[in-house]
Amino acid sequence: MKPHTNTYVIGNEFGIKYDAILGRNFFEDKQSIINYCDQQLIMGDVVVKFDPKPYKISSENCMLNLKARSQNIVKLPTKSMGHGLISKKELIPGIHLADSLIKEMNGKCITSIVNTLEEDITLDPPQVLLEAADDSEEAMTLIHTAVPVEVAGRLSRLRE
């Protein structure tokens, strides 16, 4: 026989001065989804973001699902701070990390990974190190405007 407990959800205007703890079993009973990768709790149509802790780098590794023959925008972990450069790199045969000028935010950076293979791949997200970049506005404008954009042959160039 399971013990029975009453659960109450109240707002801040109720005047209770203490935090409460809701356990995993509560959320499972309510058919909620605790999504650690996206740092959110989903209860029906309600999505609640976790309280961000910018000083803390998440150790929770979420798998990357890369579709066959596609470019994927991904969020990768980093311990680097500020703006920086990520150099092109083949992570595993057929999977390429693209050159990127990015800004670290809360221990993560957004960049691109290209899957040139004929099948979908799942892998652990690699931790990236950012090479130092001049963060002055003038230098950033120069970097962004000095690189020609080439649409044709992007996948074949990544294989080089």
Q: What CATH number is attached to the domain comprising 149?
A: 2.70.40
Point out the least confidently predicted range of 6-15, 32-41, 61-70, 73-82.
6-15
Q: Specify the DSSP element, H or E, that contains 52.
A: none
**Are 36 and 88 in the same domain?**
no
Asked if residue 96 is part of any domain, the answer here is yes
Distances (CA, A) of 26 to 23, 33, 65, 98: 5, 11, 30, 42
- Write down the pLDDT at residue 25: 75
Asked if residue 136 is part of any domain, the answer here is yes
**Are 89 and 125 in the same domain?**
yes
**Are 40 and 68 in the same domain?**
no
Asked if residue 59 is part of any domain, the answer here is no
Domain that holds residue 18: 12-49
What is the mean pLDDT of the segment spanning 65-93?
Answer: 90
User: Please, are residues 127 and 80 in contact by the beta-carbon 8 Å criterion?
Assistant: no
State the total domains in the chain. Answer: 2
